[in-house]
Chain A
Amino acid sequence: MTLPGLAFRNLRRNLFRVVLTVIGVAVAILAFVSLRTLVWAWTSGGEWAAKDRVVTRHKVTFVMTLPLRYYEEVKQAPHVKLATFANWFGGKDPNHDKEFFSTLAVESKTYFDVYPEMSVPAEQLAKWQENRKGAIVGDVLAKKLGWKLGDRVVIQSGIYAGDWQFDIDGIYTATAKSVDRSTLVFHWKYLNESLPDRAKDQVGWIVSRVDASGHAADTGVAIDKIFDEKDTQTLSQDERSFNTSFLAAFSAILKAIDVISVVILLIMLLILGNTIAMGVRERTNEYGVLRAIGFLPRHIALFILFEAMFLGMLGGALGLAMAYPFVNLGMGRWLEENMGSFFPYFHVEPSIAAMGFALAVILAGAAALLPANQAARLKVVDALRRVA
């Protein structure tokens, strides 16, 4: 028998209460881990962004387009070794109009070279490049909507009128977590030739790859300088900044989630504090006995802290055991399939799991501080007189 062992044994004293508390902590940790994963999955696009990609868009907003000729000029900018462009199409499948997915009209010769993490089998890519009406879709989207290679699908756009027919020529998979596996890409030329003259030759944004990641910022400045004196000015950012500026629009939601996370932790603190305080109160007489036979106030405080931290460990471990299947197989799978543009990869990160577990243990310790201090400060004779 050891001192920590004795603290652990004390947990068996009121099993019903301990089980309820552990479940309470576990549910709090489940909620905390789910929310932190939500924030992480939402914001990690910036972290995962390629360091050697520069995104150039209209200076005012990414909703406004750039003239196609800018693409040629960007390609000539220093350190740019490759560039492509894309337009937001805003398409949806009329047979599944509740399903949201990204549809992009892209420069077909270069797009998959600039985004090598979108992996398309060579023969499918070759076939697509030969087919003006061809489309390549993510594997998650294909599975969800039941699309197979060779299928002809009809897409409608909220921006461009009419029914747009596409042949599914390829299905891409992802070699990086950042890739949205629910996107449909097709030839920009197909879009462009279908537009009236006044709307032709416009691109949504240009993406360049530079020869070294250290040149991304300088290259962005250099590109913007090229267009400084022109009618349409640009804003070039490395991909991380671009993603971050997109997320800035949702900063209020992210802050709200942060606040809710803190509230959850506070609730957990109160649950633990209540259980620990009740246990300490019931056992005051025993602490008196321990003090009488020679235990010091610090031993009593440590007993209580150890016991609380064991409680936190049990709750944290159970919370994580619940969070992994809930997030990875339930909530995460649903979000990846249905909101892949925002959450291309929604899984519990080990760092978030570790943080959840550590917080359960630390907060349990914090919740025990006051009762432990009070128990340690009790006079022996007063503690011995106390009847639970």
Chain B
Amino acid sequence: MSTLEITVSVNGNSYTETVEPRVTLVDFLRDKLALTGTHIGCEHGVCGACSVLLDGVPIRSCLMLAVQADGREVTTVEGLTQEDGTPGILQDAFRDAHAMQCGYCIPGMLIASEALLRDNPDPTLDDIREAIGGNICRCTGYVQIIEAIQLAAERLREANR
């Protein structure tokens, strides 16, 4: 099987790598680029643990071939941390609300929440449910995650006042 050279921008950095066409984007991010923050939960597009932003829009990276990301921009959970290494407002809100336990689904939740709050600074409960409706958490029962997103929204509105 032939391999292809692709160039992908991830968290603002450009990477040129050679991949087999069958390698998924999530495997590419984790194995080739050692960005292990994005997680594999099902490899068939249901659990959402693999969520990343593709050109700013949340997608399931287990359902995309790495070769399809050629020339595109990807943001992973690592890209949500600020340049100086400190967590952003959203990440801090998740901590303050203890919106996790095992941490495995959290990168996907953060990506989904990031996309929501960027487009909708004052989301309703229904808006929040729709944003994270495709991300399964087995630890929290979602209540503290919702509270974290509401807290983050409030703090972001404050910061942008």
Do these two chains really belong together in a complex? no
